[in-house]
Amino acid sequence: MERTTLGELGTKKGEAVSVSGWIDVRRDHGKVLFLVLRDRSGTVQAVVKDGSDAFPVAQSVREQWVVQAEASVVERPEKMRKDEQNGDIELVISTLTVLSQAHELPFDMDAELNLDTLLDYRPLTLRRDRERAIFKVQAAIVAAYRTFLTAEGFTEFQAPKFVGDDAEGGGNIFKVEYFKDRYAYLATSPQLYKQIMVGVFERVFSIGNVFRAEKHATTRHLNEYTSLDVEMGFIEDHTSIMNMEERYMRFLMQHLEETCVHEFALLGATIPRIPATIPRMKLREAQALITEQTGKDCLNEPDLEPEHERWLCEWAQKEHSSDFIFITHYPTAKRPFYTYEDETDPGFTKSFDLLFRGVEITTGGQREHRLDTLIEKLTAKGLRPENFGFYLQAFKYGLPPHGGWGMGLERLTQKLLGLENVKEATLFPRDMNRIDSRLSETDDALEN
Amino acid sequence: MERTTLGELGTKKGEAVSVSGWIDVRRDHGKVLFLVLRDRSGTVQAVVKDGSDAFPVAQSVREQWVVQAEASVVERPEKMRKDEQNGDIELVISTLTVLSQAHELPFDMDAELNLDTLLDYRPLTLRRDRERAIFKVQAAIVAAYRTFLTAEGFTEFQAPKFVGDDAEGGGNIFKVEYFKDRYAYLATSPQLYKQIMVGVFERVFSIGNVFRAEKHATTRHLNEYTSLDVEMGFIEDHTSIMNMEERYMRFLMQHLEETCVHEFALLGATIPRIPATIPRMKLREAQALITEQTGKDCLNEPDLEPEHERWLCEWAQKEHSSDFIFITHYPTAKRPFYTYEDETDPGFTKSFDLLFRGVEITTGGQREHRLDTLIEKLTAKGLRPENFGFYLQAFKYGLPPHGGWGMGLERLTQKLLGLENVKEATLFPRDMNRIDSRLSETDDALEN
């Protein structure tokens, strides 16, 4: 019999079906066994009764075993119905076949696990309802990103990860043994390539991993993450980029309302509402506000401290009912060479951060598109224009005013879902201490 | 006035518009100047007449300059119409503003360029009609991949690029300086992760860069490329995967017919037709056929030589009107440890290659899902199961029969469009001799 997915069972009431999946829950009531089956489309409760061919098999199976079952789809009595997927039906299994066994689980699947256990057992813990909900939402963010940008005339491109040198000079870059005693480096962002691509397709986006050799071990940092990038030409200034991002965020929340309500409910998270306009202020205005209202002077700082980002988000929530706030005009000294300086506000840039629920989730802005000025800015940052010859071609042969943003997918997922640590929103997080296994344990294994 | 994209001009006949873009062509006829403008949505011919405010500006502009223009949309006389985008209209420009200048071009934009020149000037050459067509098709392949797989119940996931060791033992792996005198490696494929993800979402796909430290300098190899991956559970055997891929290919060609006819025409390429069933044969059957028909004995070879792949594709075209052919049952010795051995054909695997227009574009098959057998296979390949502890958890806690494929985006693009070298289908190709600039030149620059 052809397989029916569990998500299709609602249309098969009274029929005989063949289903396949994992045993998520098994409850033994003596003469009757209850199983919760899971496949890609959802879950269903099944019963196996003493006397059926399936009964001895059902007695032997355990959680996470993989099975195939012949069953009939029966409606539950009115008072047994639940307001959940397949809550009005259950499967009565007649034949049960084991496709794959599982070892005894190291913990209860709905136990509260500490972060190390969660990650040590990632291939298993990712199967939990909570983790599947997190990564369903993550896939939805990516899907919404593409749908929105494609409709806005953006073309997707594949950015290279190998780069020739530490272009932005930040130093937080991983070094790769390339060929013939030569080194290559891993891109910390697709920045230079997406600017080149503005010359080709005018509006481009890319989705891909970037690599930061930062020695941070915080709840917000990863050494490898997924960057959602955009770059667009023929803009007015940085506000064109902010407007586009505001529209994406509105589109995203609508998409999540339509596709992920169950996942948000399961995680106890709220889909944020976007006000008509997300509040916007210059960094110095923000600092003046913080200084005035908290009494702590931060007027001369070049950037926002984490506590200031949190304070501003609380302020935006209180004053504007907004989970988001744009901060603009960071000093030229704190922004990369390609950032556009505001002619009307020298020393400050047409750049922005988007803060959301206490942290920065996007950095963006207008870029310098004038070749001569760009070379001056490179030199002023102590970089050597001759190392940027390839990139500078894009400007030599004409680029319009342009700008864009970069946004970390995992951090956005984390903050949307109210997770404590960004690693919970990363399938296979890499940091100083872990690449799948803890690195100290790898040492042990290699020594054996 | 609000900007109108060139693709929207057809709906603005007789109206005044503001447009922006690059000068693709400039022809000086003395009292009248013809410009071809390009933006993200296409091109249009524009005229600037002596006496208009725009005329002296139009005299100064050159190819690739970036301009903004105020113009009126006029219909062309009947006999001047062309069968192309905006072929029935032209713009009469009244005001022309230069947004960005360009240096004199190093070559004619529609000249035939050798591969090195094409790549040395990538930021410029990507703007040519030919290159934009190639990467529009590439974006369409990716879009079709997502649309098709999402509709089939697949979930997209982000595969990590850093891996802890050379898991598959192939040796063609790049080494990264990680933290604390430790090395990490760059994934040659998302293989182990997509198998883990079968336990989570049952059907998954990923799109991302992979890295191969191969010292090849052929027309088919890249050291970094984009891999289109799929993995799915609850399969019958490898033919379930082949059936899914056949359906994707049919969907893709339909999508290209709908969205990329212009690009294929421009490149002189033909969208392939997929027969009702793509021919399928075992490697040994293919070898017997080759030996019989060409007289060259290849019966005892463990794999197909490039010339044999070409011969089989020609045969499939001649005998089955198919640009594609599946070859199955490669020997266990030639396939990775995770490949499923055919119980009915010991020594041979339930794996396949899909050949298309002379080369292999996909490798796929059923995977070993039984923990004990998998550990045996690892050991038999000289690998150490203790290095695979993380991956093996997926099997320890129950995985169904599953399989998948990996497909190189750039090679597929190359073969679809009939390009000679895969680098022509790669935005920023990386190889032994080039990361953007030629590596020998980088040495020169650094010595200065």
CB environment A249-270: b (16+ within 10 A), e (fewer):
bbbbbebbeeebeebbebbebe
- The pLDDT tens digits of the residues spanning A155-208 come to 999 999 999 887 666 678 999 999 878 899 999 999 999 999 999 999 999 999
**For residue A398, pLDDT beyond 80:** yes
Q: Which amino acid is at B309?
A: E
Q: Does A3 touch chain B (CB under 8 A)?
A: yes
Question: With contacts defined as CB-CB under 8 Å, which chain B residues touch A139?
Answer: 155-157
- In angstroms, the CA A374 to CA A395 distance is 9
Question: With contacts defined as CB-CB under 8 Å, which chain A residues touch B414?
Answer: none
CB contact (8 A) between residue A161 and residue B223 = no
Q: Does A393 touch chain B (CB under 8 A)?
A: yes
- In angstroms, the CA A213 to CA A299 distance is 31
Question: With contacts defined as CB-CB under 8 Å, which chain B residues touch A148?
Answer: none
Task: Tell me which residue in A143, A184, A397 faces B123 most closely, judged by beta carbons.
Answer: A397
CB contact (8 A) between residue A138 and residue B158 = yes
The 3-class secondary structure across A215-259, one letter per residue, is CCCCCCCCCEEEEEEEEEECCCCHHHHHHHHHHHHHHHHHHHHHH
pTM: 0.96
Question: With contacts defined as CB-CB under 8 Å, which chain B residues touch A222?
Answer: none
Q: What share of chain A is helix, strand, coil (3-state, %, to 5)?
A: 35, 25, 35
Copy the structure tokens of residue A385. Answer: 């224009």
Closest approach of B325 to chain A, Cα-based (Å): 27
Is it true that A6-100 and A127-426 share their CATH fold? no
Tell which CATH architecture fits domain A127-426: 2-Layer Sandwich (3.30)
Question: With contacts defined as CB-CB under 8 Å, which chain B residues touch A202?
Answer: 39-40
Copy the structure tokens of residue A423. Answer: 């690693």
Work out the percent of chain A whose per-residue pLDDT is above 70: 97
Copy the structure tokens of residue A284. Answer: 């110095």
Specify which residues B431 forms β-bridges with.
B434
Please tell me the predicted confidence (pLDDT) of residue B130: 97
Taking CA atoms, what residue in A is nearest to B386? A445
Burial of B370 (0-12, 13-18, 19+ CB in 10 A): middle
Mutate to test the interface with B, among A18, A100, A121, A198 (most CBs of B within 10 A): A100
Please tell me the predicted confidence (pLDDT) of residue A220: 81
Copy the structure tokens of residue B64. Answer: 């690739």
Residues 6+ apart with CB under 8 A from B136: A155, B260, B263
Mean pLDDT over B208-222 rounds to: 88
Q: Does B193 touch chain A (CB under 8 A)?
A: yes
Residues 6+ apart with CB under 8 A from B404: B194, B195, B229, B230, B231, B232, B241, B364, B367
**For residue A338, pLDDT beyond 90:** yes
CB A330 within 8 A of CB A353: yes
Q: Does B156 touch chain A (CB under 8 A)?
A: yes
**Of B252, B227, B164, B256, the residue nearest B364 (C-alpha):** B227
Please tell me the predicted confidence (pLDDT) of residue A448: 37
Q: Which amino acid is at A59?
A: Q
CB contact (8 A) between residue A436 and residue B164 = yes
Residues in chain A: 448
Q: Which amino acid is at B73?
A: V
Ranges of H-type helices in A321-433: 371-380, 389-396, 409-417
**For residue B218, pLDDT beyond 90:** no
Average pLDDT, chain A: 95
- The pLDDT tens digits of the residues spanning B166-198 come to 766 667 899 999 987 889 999 999 999 999 999
Q: What is the bridge-based pairing of β-strands B280-282 and A183-186?
A: unpaired
- The pLDDT tens digits of the residues spanning A95-145 come to 999 999 999 999 999 999 999 999 999 999 999 999 999 999 999 999 999
Question: With contacts defined as CB-CB under 8 Å, which chain B residues touch A186?
Answer: 176
Q: What is the CATH number of domain B6-100?
A: 2.40.50.140
Closest approach of B127 to chain A, Cα-based (Å): 5
**Of A152, A385, A166, A271, the residue nearest B40 (C-alpha):** A152
Work out the percent of chain B whose per-residue pLDDT is above 90: 90
Closest approach of B68 to chain A, Cα-based (Å): 9
CA distances from A288 to A281, A306, A323, A357, A363 (A): 11, 16, 21, 21, 21
Specify which residues B402 forms β-bridges with.
B233, B367
Task: Tell me which residue in A41, A162, A401 faces B430 most closely, judged by beta carbons.
Answer: A162
Mean pLDDT over B24-43 rounds to: 96
Radius of gyration of chain A (CA): 26
> Which helix H or strand E contains A289, and what residues bound it?
helix A283-294
Question: With contacts defined as CB-CB under 8 Å, which chain A residues touch B202?
Answer: 39-40
CB contact (8 A) between residue A200 and residue B126 = yes
**Of B239, B248, B254, the residue nearest B151 (C-alpha):** B248
CB B61 within 8 A of CB B67: yes
Mean pLDDT over B333-341 rounds to: 95
Closest approach of B65 to chain A, Cα-based (Å): 5
Mutate to test the interface with A, among B152, B158, B442 (most CBs of A within 10 A): B158
Task: Tell me which residue in A102, A138, A211 faces B396 most closely, judged by beta carbons.
Answer: A102
Please tell me the predicted confidence (pLDDT) of residue A440: 76
Q: Which amino acid is at A303?
A: D
Taking CA atoms, what residue in A is nearest to B387? A445
Please tell me the predicted confidence (pLDDT) of residue A167: 67
Radius of gyration of chain B (CA): 26
- In angstroms, the CA A177 to CA A185 distance is 9
- The pLDDT tens digits of the residues spanning A250-297 come to 999 999 999 999 999 999 999 998 999 999 999 999 999 999 999 989
Taking CA atoms, what residue in B is nearest to A397? B102
CB contact (8 A) between residue B397 and residue A201 = no
Task: Tell me which residue in A179, A401, A442 faces B164 most closely, judged by beta carbons.
Answer: A442
Ranges of H-type helices in B321-448: 371-380, 389-396, 409-417, 439-447
Specify which residues B37 forms β-bridges with.
B23, B44
CB A185 within 8 A of CB A255: no
- In angstroms, the CA A376 to CA A201 distance is 27
Closest approach of A355 to chain B, Cα-based (Å): 24
Residue B425 carries which DSSP code? Answer: G
Burial of A316 (0-12, 13-18, 19+ CB in 10 A): buried
Q: Does B217 touch chain A (CB under 8 A)?
A: no
Q: Does A25 touch chain B (CB under 8 A)?
A: no
Give residue B123's pLDDT band: very low, low, confident or very high (50, 70, 90).
very high
Q: Does B396 touch chain A (CB under 8 A)?
A: yes
Closest approach of B25 to chain A, Cα-based (Å): 14
Average pLDDT, chain B: 95
Mutate to test the interface with B, among A68, A197, A397 (most CBs of B within 10 A): A397
* ipTM for this prediction: 0.96
Give residue B83's pLDDT band: very low, low, confident or very high (50, 70, 90).
confident
CB contact (8 A) between residue A390 and residue B122 = yes
Question: With contacts defined as CB-CB under 8 Å, which chain B residues touch A223?
Answer: 162
Task: Tell me which residue in B103, B122, B398 faces A66 most closely, judged by beta carbons.
Answer: B398
Burial of A236 (0-12, 13-18, 19+ CB in 10 A): exposed
Closest approach of A336 to chain B, Cα-based (Å): 21
CA distances from B300 to A152, A172, A193, B303, B353 (A): 55, 52, 47, 9, 18
**Of A64, A26, A61, the residue nearest A47 (C-alpha):** A26
Task: Tell me which residue in B40, B162, B398 faces A65 most closely, judged by beta carbons.
Answer: B398
More confident residue, B196 or B273: B196
Q: Spell out the domain ranges in chain A.
A: 6-100, 127-426
Residues 6+ apart with CB under 8 A from A387: A164, A165, A167, B445
Give residue A446's pLDDT band: very low, low, confident or very high (50, 70, 90).
very low
Taking CA atoms, what residue in B is nearest to A443? B182
CB contact (8 A) between residue A430 and residue B162 = yes
**For residue A443, pLDDT beyond 70:** no
Question: With contacts defined as CB-CB under 8 Å, which chain B residues touch A62?
Answer: none
- In angstroms, the CA B94 to CA B88 distance is 20
